Amino acid sequence: MDELEDIIKTKNIRDVKSSYILKIIFSFLSEKLRLDMIMYNKELQNMFNVYIENYKKLSGKYKIGGKNGNGREYIINTNILIFEGKYLDGKKNGKGKEK
């Protein structure tokens, strides 16, 4: 029994080599959770054909501006401005106007 528990604890998603099995595993997750898990893994993004448009569609908004400094955030389909202000490391920071 201890041997089985050790095996279970040491297994990782990186150990799975088959793209078919990975697709089955990820099919049980919601799209938001799946995108969050593969956000920083280019190999999985290519395997699942995930592009930046998928992230934009899911969030319903897009940003114009750099990762740091001034920027604006819009709703995708209507192009309505919802935030204008400063960003630090890709997140809202400091003063800004939220509508």
Task: Give pLDDT tens digits for 42-59.
Answer: 888 888 888 888 888 888
Give percent of the chain with pLDDT exceeding 90.
0
Task: Give pLDDT tens digits for 7-26.
Answer: 666 777 777 788 888 888 88
User: How many angstroms separate the Cα of 31 from the Cα of each of 9, 16, 26?
Assistant: 26, 20, 9
Q: What is the pTM of this model?
A: 0.56
Tell me what pLDDT residue 15 has: 78
Q: Coil, strand or helix: which one is 39?
A: coil
